[in-house]
A and B are shown apart, each in its own frame.
Chain A
């Protein structure tokens, strides 16, 4: 496995399966009364968050703590540029404290990769701008694999604001690596620039028509649509978006019974996902959250519990 997890490009299909196997073991720990494993005892992990996040940060925090690591949360909100300090300065200062791993969330695409070039310890990308969110994709893949048995030959529709979604960019890579077929669905204004060439090279499909895609989907992943996109002129109104691309009650009825529905959260109920869909039995939304801790434990374990620990 690569030293860092900056992008799904850093893990092979085999690595992903290995992460899932370990995650399944970790998942069992969550049901124990005593949840701690000693794997990362004596290790220090810093969650360096340049952007607000509740669920990802606490998920990483719990994951680290259950592995007995010392986890420190540092919020570095606000652009360091505006404070006169460079990103490199900030990161070098933090790592100089003597840490074993850095979990980074940053509002700018590529920040985690840049940081990994400046420091020696493993860097885990907890979301960089609109680029990637690899642990989210791993937990989505893990959740779907547990539900569907395998993703080989399965068809997953990813629907929503693809342009601004790091979850999409990581998932399209990981789901494809796991053997699934992906169709990315969005109005043209929310498709990433150059998606035609990209999808051809990467082997996924795109569509503007959700109703055409849904009947063939083995799983549906709905992405959050930020309401402020309307002021950017990406689509006219929330109502129109819902009619075109929302997982409404009517569309829910079109899905094969038992089709898993995922949403990375936070959900805009009534916009991209109806309450019926969100609460439907088949929604894996809460499963995703608990899987998140297990998958992050697995990632931390694989990247940080190196030879020194086993020696």
Chain B
């Protein structure tokens, strides 16, 4: 099957036709060859397929909230060609078998490459290392390990994990949050608003002390650490310093931490309950700047679907998390591109090339758009404004904080190895 994308604007700003044939980019330039399908890309941006370092697909265990198939659909609609599926399922992805199962479910769905993340510790309990090596040697070739949802808080365990994954080029993606700096019911940012609302919160410093500790452990062990969902200005400062010292650290930020602020919690709506919590405006501004200047390497969604009833509890009892896959690109367009903080080459970098490299998927994903490269591609309308409607989501869940918001940018088409998964903004 061949597809001709006519008149697309590439990340570097040049305009070109792109011929996709047999899963690869076959030709660039002005192309008059006939193809099985032609897509008019006049005024549209062509990006390398997006890569999400941080997705919760909920299968196995909570198939009422999302499955690998429905999550893959949401990813494709969002312009993604690869997602990393977090390990905090039931059961936890802490064995080779569990990782291979997620991999196979992803292949069966066939809409994006689903790359399992392995747990750092057995059952995410933070005590004993999971079988990191067996997961790495499995068919799933796990390279990213994370107890996400929980912090690997014991410094002894974190040190050993960092050391151990060096044998196979692994990376620990840390959910940085010192559990002893907040009560067990912490559910929001600790600050003036939490004080007024009487909600138990996490102070920013609970994140920052772990980021600081982990970069020092990464330096000591000569290993790689990835800071998941950075949410505070203080964490940004630590990461910036660590990079200046040559420490092997990377960091991601979520779309919601780039735009939504803690004041949304005023009405106690659990739609806005997320972990790490929404922070004040000054943190949001620091995160945007850090993404623009490269201190933060990647945008990662932390797509966290939940069944409706799990969000209809009292605020402190409701589930943490919000949807993100379908809206990530529009949020980044709105926050980073429209403001001039990032150009489209920058978007390709933070949403595709960098996350692919961090995850070790860079042989297939996050590639430059060049002849001979795999045709994992995302075509974006950069100017259309869309009002988000949570009912229109292809996710199984509806915990969508973007509902009724007007965002700029729309994914028009997604190609996975040359096969369209999305056309005209709909699943192909």
Question: By the criterion CB–CB under 8 Å, are B268 and A109 in contact?
Answer: yes
Cβ of B43 under 8 Å from chain A: no
Q: B194 — which chain A residues lie within 8 A by C-beta?
A: 193-194
Residues 176-206 of chain A: 1 if any B CB is under 8 Å from the residue's CB, otherwise 0?
0000000000000000111111100000000
Question: By the criterion CB–CB under 8 Å, are A197 and B313 in contact?
Answer: no
Q: B198 — which chain A residues lie within 8 A by C-beta?
A: 109-110, 128-132, 166, 169, 192
Shortest Cβ distance from A204 into chain B, in angstroms? 12
Question: By the criterion CB–CB under 8 Å, are B309 and A86 in contact?
Answer: yes
Q: B190 — which chain A residues lie within 8 A by C-beta?
A: 193-194
Which of B69-77, B290-298, B314-322 lies on the face that meets chain A? B314-322
Residues 110-144 of chain A: 1 if any B CB is under 8 Å from the residue's CB, otherwise 0?
11011001000000000011111000000000000
Shortest Cβ distance from B405 into chain A, in angstroms? 19
Residues 63-81 of chain A: 1 if any B CB is under 8 Å from the residue's CB, otherwise 0?
0000000000000000111
Question: By the criterion CB–CB under 8 Å, are A87 and B268 in contact?
Answer: no
If the complex has contacts A169-B198, A197-B192, are A110 and B309 also in contact, measured as CB distance less than 8 A? no
The number of inter-chain residue pairs (CB within 8 angstroms) is 91
Closest to A131 in B: B198
Closest to B189 in A: A193
Question: By the criterion CB–CB under 8 Å, are A111 and B192 in contact?
Answer: no
Question: By the criterion CB–CB under 8 Å, are B196 and A198 in contact?
Answer: yes
Question: By the criterion CB–CB under 8 Å, are B192 and A110 in contact?
Answer: no
Contact of B309 among A89, A114, A128, A192 (CB under 8 A): A89
Question: By the criterion CB–CB under 8 Å, are A113 and B195 in contact?
Answer: no
If the complex has contacts A86-B309, A114-B268, are A108 and B316 also in contact, measured as CB distance less than 8 A? yes
Give bound CA distance, A109 to B267, whole Å.
11
Shortest Cβ distance from B136 into chain A, in angstroms? 37
If the complex has contacts A110-B268, A193-B191, are A87 and B197 also in contact, measured as CB distance less than 8 A? no
Question: By the criterion CB–CB under 8 Å, are A108 and B195 in contact?
Answer: no
Question: By the criterion CB–CB under 8 Å, are A194 and B197 in contact?
Answer: no
- B299-354 contacts to A (CB < 8 Å): 309-310, 312-317
Contact of B312 among A89, A131, A194 (CB under 8 A): A89
Give bound CA distance, A166 to B191, whole Å.
17
Assign chain B's interface to a size class.
20 to 34
Cβ of B193 under 8 Å from chain A: yes
Shortest Cβ distance from B273 into chain A, in angstroms? 11
Q: A109 — which chain B residues lie within 8 A by C-beta?
A: 197-199, 268, 314-316
- A207-259 contacts to B (CB < 8 Å): 232
Question: By the criterion CB–CB under 8 Å, are B195 and A195 in contact?
Answer: yes
Shortest Cβ distance from B68 into chain A, in angstroms? 25
Shortest Cβ distance from A90 into chain B, in angstroms? 10
Question: By the criterion CB–CB under 8 Å, are B313 and A86 in contact?
Answer: yes
Closest to A91 in B: B312
Cβ of A263 under 8 Å from chain B: no
Q: A196 — which chain B residues lie within 8 A by C-beta?
A: 192
Contact of B314 among A87, A192, A194, A198 (CB under 8 A): A87
Contact of A193 among B192, B270, B314 (CB under 8 A): B192
Question: By the criterion CB–CB under 8 Å, are B192 and A108 in contact?
Answer: no
Q: A108 — which chain B residues lie within 8 A by C-beta?
A: 314-317
Question: By the criterion CB–CB under 8 Å, are B192 and A114 in contact?
Answer: no
Give bound CA distance, A113 to B267, whole Å.
7
Q: B269 — which chain A residues lie within 8 A by C-beta?
A: 114
- B178-218 contacts to A (CB < 8 Å): 183, 190-201, 203
Q: B312 — which chain A residues lie within 8 A by C-beta?
A: 86-89
Q: A80 — which chain B residues lie within 8 A by C-beta?
A: 313, 317
Q: B200 — which chain A residues lie within 8 A by C-beta?
A: 130
Shortest Cβ distance from B65 into chain A, in angstroms? 14
Q: A87 — which chain B residues lie within 8 A by C-beta?
A: 312-314, 317
Nearest 4 Cβ contacts at the A-B interface: A110-B268, A194-B192, A108-B314, A192-B195
A-B contact list, 19 entries, CB within 8 Å: A79-B317, A80-B313, A81-B317, A86-B313, A89-B309, A106-B314, A108-B317, A109-B315, A110-B198, A110-B268, A114-B314, A114-B315, A128-B198, A130-B199, A169-B196, A169-B198, A192-B198, A193-B192, A193-B194
